[in-house]
Amino acid sequence: MDSNLYIYNTLSRTKEKFEPLHPPLVGLYVCGPTVYSDVHLGNCRTFVMFDLIYRYLLHLGYKVRYVRNITDAGHLEGDMDEGDDKFAKKARLEQLEPMEIVQKYTLGFHDVMRLFNALPPGIEPTATGHIIEQIEMVKQILNNGYAYEVNGTVYFDVEKYCKEFNYTILTNRQLDDLLENTRELGGQNEKRGRLDFALWIKAKPEHIMQWPSPWGTGFPGWHIECSAMSSKYLGNSFDIHGGGMDLAATHHTNEIAQSQACNHVQPAKYWMHTNMLTVNGTRMSKTKGNGFLPHELFTGSHELLSRGYSPMSVRFFMLQAHYRSTLDFSNEALEASDKGFKRLINAYGLLEKLNPSQKSDIDLKSLTERCYAAMNDDFNSPVLIAELFEAVHIINSVYDRKTAATAADIEALKKLMDDFVIGVLGLKEESNQSDDMGKLLDFIINLRSEAKVNKDYATSDKIRIGLNSIGIQLKDNKEGTTWNKI
């Protein structure tokens, strides 16, 4: 289990050798979506990138417990402690119960993740399902002296915490600057310090989602759910905590503070943050209104798109950038990824049709090593993909009989592609050569081949053009005819 995996840790701002706390077990916690509206493509990027990370850890042989929460309570609209609950607001808008909102968008999220071929996490806990755990944690933080209660609301005492711990460890900000530049927020008259944040919030009578607590009826603050659920399922201290970069400064900073105040340990050994998806250089976000919804992308129903793109092409587009880089979204970039993905996956399909030779002029050992080296270097999927195109080159060349490969080489090629394209990158063929449509197409291709043998090119071209018009491309070569979806 001694891998050479290096992970960029936000805590240290360097790449560190990955050494799990309890190998071969790995605890992975990722902040999931807030299910009051559809997830957009930027959200999806984070979950696809952590899917890559999860898959690679599994591939290396780790036993990974992957926890990704569903936030279904506790998020307020606008300023701290004053705004509407997002779920209640949306429920009023759509004339539904808040839990109907939660159900609707949770199911939608799962559908999208399935389309992107993301493995489901082992545990997907919800905030509303863990109110008791959150209350217990708040009680413990109060007992430890890092929080105080005012009129049914419990606040975290950041100033007190700062005397013993480094509050800004994730972002390296200066506390004085934070104090000077933090905007005037709600609840100021109740709070002792302007950086203090709510652990438990007293519910107004009209607030729909509320629960009894030692401090009266209320609901949990924004950050406590992840602390409570991660420690419940992964222990007070676990291996990797991930999420989008936008969460680092506030949500994750406060999570660390809560866990330290409660358990006196750093919750996670490695903090990983994925970068943002941008459109024309600015971040895609719900509030900016430049968010793409996955189905708009799949169907092409968006003004910036010339056509629809399949989930696998979009996944491939995401994988072609490193998770810590911003990725700029455009129709042109997507078009390029779509073609690249098809090139890769078509080569994968050709693996079954390769003919072995006695000799070999390829070096798969070095290629395989480079694939591992790429992923071991902080999950560098773009470099991995570049290496895999070397494999594509080899496969095509062997198929064309321009390069010789032994049966053992071909097996190794298959393993390489299975391991990395299917297993690690999580890509898959979107059309299957052996299903009913495949058999039907084989039949049609045979008819066309007969026409070609008889030099009846009018018929053969008619078939080819006709299939092309419904999205099936035929490719003639020495071995016969193959097809793929356009």
Q: Which two tokens stand for residue 120?
A: 């489901």
Report the helix count and the strand count for the chain, using DSSP H and E: 16, 15
Exposure string (b/e) for 90-128, b if CB count within 10 Å is 16 or more?
bbeeeeeebbebbebbbebbeebbebbbbeebeebbbbb
Please give the structure tokens belonging to residue 48.
Answer: 């696809």
Helix axes 364-376, 381-399, angle to 10 degrees: 160
Tell me how far CA of residue 378 lies from CA of 52, 56, 65, 365, 384, in angstroms. 11, 11, 20, 21, 11
Q: Which is nearer to RNA, 133 or 196 (CB)?
A: 196
DSSP conformation letters of 428-474: --SS-TTSHHHHHHHHHHHHHHHHHHTT-HHHHHHHHHHHHHTTEEE
- Cα gap 301→261, rounded to integer Å: 48
What is the rounded CA–CA span in Å between residue 346 and residue 287? 39
Closest alpha carbon to 327 in 313, 335, 319, 338: 319
CB of 321 to RNA, least distance (A): 3
CB-nearer residue toward RNA: 139 or 346: 346
Which of 67, 327 has the CB closer to RNA? 327
Distances (CA, A) of 299 to 106, 332, 353, 431: 21, 16, 33, 17
- Compute the distance between CA of residue 363 and CA of residue 67 in angstroms, rounded to an integer: 39
> Rounded CA gap, 262 and 141, in Å?
5
Q: How far apart are CA 232 and CA 32, in angstroms?
A: 16
